[in-house]
């Protein structure tokens, strides 16, 4: 194998984005992923990912997501395909709920286009919803759906077109940083490079076992259902609703072949990503369909499929993006806590900056490991 300037561990959303950025900077890149290309064992599969600007979690993410919109459009142009569909988004809950109050704070602070709708206006615009009178919605016209499988594939292909070597089914068993370089070992092979980028998603705490990362893998799941009257659900925006403390249901409008998607955004409990039960149980499906019928009657008429996926949760649900505390030539991005996909190209850019320059001009200081104490 040739000598590489950068090795990337993990080629999901973040590692493939880093490969794209580093390759465009003219660097010799090797990417290694433990699983086959396009696998469904990590965090970057499932047909749709929300992108939204009125960021209820924290206004500090807004400028990063605005940069990501531009980079997704750029990736669309370079790969000659549509990856992002603007649908608008409706973020619902009590007026002082984390979703509505948080989205409003980001929208007002950053001057984003938005409308605040009371329950009667939500009913008038979207009669499919059955919501309580005290529910409000913040409508954001710029929200949309990213196609995760196509996005990751496009990032990989762009990197490969510029010479990156991407090897799948190649699990990194150990890595070490010696002098100014790094050595990475798989079952059969050993590679060296100047720099190492670790983007191992829900496995990050295993790959970075030496620094005791404050991050856990959590299993989550979602359903795709064909409604009784599909056309009633095709013109909905993306939606999120504050259901109970720390529990948010979300949904994606009806699309041919995919039905309506319905998921639950919440922390669950820590699991081992290598042995987690990936099947979705009948009881889990029944719980979801019950909630779906209460909120969108008729929407869960026929179950199409149910799938699980992994979140990489941090205690504060903010990402971790930093240099390794002991090794300057090793950088990592992890702990995307169920909301990282939309940022992938910007995370890739930040990882490339940190790896090659040791710093980044992007506003990512709030994501440093040291904040976790």
Ligand X SMILES: Cc1cc2nc3c(=O)[nH]c(=O)nc-3n(C[C@H](O)[C@H](O)[C@H](O)COP(=O)(O)OP(=O)(O)OC[C@H]3O[C@@H](n4cnc5c(N)ncnc54)[C@H](O)[C@@H]3O)c2cc1C
Footprint of ligand X (CB under 6 A): 9-15, 32-35, 42-44, 46, 49-50, 171-172, 199-203, 207, 220, 222, 263, 309-311, 336, 338-342
Q: State how far the Cα of 46 lies from the Cα of 148, in Å rounded to an integer.
A: 7
Structure tokens at 77: 């142009």
Around Cβ 357, how many Cβ atoms within 10 Å? Answer: 9
Nearer to ligand X, 291 or 297 (CB): 291
Residue nearest ligand X by beta-carbon distance: 12
Residue 201 Cβ vs ligand X, minimum distance, rounded to whole Å: 2
In angstroms, the CA 268 to CA 100 distance is 23
To ligand X, the closest distance from the beta carbon of 112 in angstroms equals: 17
Residues 6+ positions from 86 with CB-CB distance below 8 Å: 141, 142, 143, 144
CA-to-CA distance for 167 and 37, rounded, in angstroms?
9
What burial class does residue 82 get, using C-beta atoms within 10 Å of its C-beta: 0-12 exposed, 13-18 middle, 19+ buried? exposed
Is the CB of 15 or the CB of 118 nearer to ligand X?
A: 15
CB of 37 or CB of 130, closer to ligand X? 37
Find the distance separating the first CA and the last CA of the chain, reported in whole Å.
40
CB of 322 to ligand X, least distance (A): 14
Coil, helix or strand for 247?
Answer: strand
Min CB(123)–ligand X separation in Å:
25
Instruction: Please report how close the Cβ of residue 36 comes to ligand X at its closest, in angstroms.
Output: 9
Size of the chain, expressed as the number of residues it contains: 373
Nearer to ligand X, 87 or 119 (CB): 87
Closest to ligand X by CB, 168 vs 298, is: 168
């Amino acid at each position: 194998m040739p000598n590489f300037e950068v090795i990337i561990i993990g080629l999901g959303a973040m590692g493939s984005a880093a490969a794209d950025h580093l390759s465009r900077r003219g660097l010799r890149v090797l990417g290694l992923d433990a699983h086959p290309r396009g696998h469904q064992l990590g965090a970057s599969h499932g047909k749709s990912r929300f992108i939204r600007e009125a960021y209820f979690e924290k206004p500090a993410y807004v400028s990063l997501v605005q940069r990501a919109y531009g980079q997704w459009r750029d990736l669309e142009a370079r790969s000659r395909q549509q990856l992002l569909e603007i649908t608008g988004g409706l973020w619902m809950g009590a007026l002082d709920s984390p979703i509505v109050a948080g989205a409003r704070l980001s929208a007002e602070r950053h001057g984003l286009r938005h409308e605040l709708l009371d329950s009667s206006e939500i009913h008038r615009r979207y009669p499919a919803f059955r919501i309580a009178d005290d529910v409000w919605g913040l409508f954001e016209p710029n929200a949309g759906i990213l196609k995760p499988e196509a996005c990751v594939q496009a990032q990989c292909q762009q990197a490969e077109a510029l010479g990156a070597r991407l090897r799948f089914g190649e699990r990194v068993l150990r890595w070490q940083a010696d002098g100014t370089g790094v050595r990475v070992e798989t079952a059969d092979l050993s590679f060296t490079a100047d720099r190492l980028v670790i983007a191992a998603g829900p496995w990050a705490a295993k790959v970075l076992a030496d620094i005791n990362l404050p991050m856990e893998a959590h299993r989550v799941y979602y359903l795709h259902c064909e409604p009784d009257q599909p056309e009633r659900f095709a013109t909905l925006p993306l939606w999120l609703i504050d259901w109970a403390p720390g529990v948010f249901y979300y949904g994606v409008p009806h699309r041919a072949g995919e039905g309506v998607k319905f998921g639950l955004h919440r922390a669950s409990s820590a699991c081992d990503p290598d042995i987690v039960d990936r099947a979705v149980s009948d009881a889990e499906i029944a719980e979801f369909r019950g909630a779906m019928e209460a909120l969108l009657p008729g929407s869960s008429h026929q179950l199409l499929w149910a799938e699980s996926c992994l979140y990489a949760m941090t205690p504060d649900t903010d990402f971790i993006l930093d240099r390794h505390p002991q090794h300057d030539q090793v950088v990592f991005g992890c702990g995307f806590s169920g909301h990282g996909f939309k940022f992938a190209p910007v995370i890739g850019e930040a990882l490339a900056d940190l790896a090659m320059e040791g710093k980044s001009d992007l506003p990512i200081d709030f994501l440093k490991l040291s904040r976790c104490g």
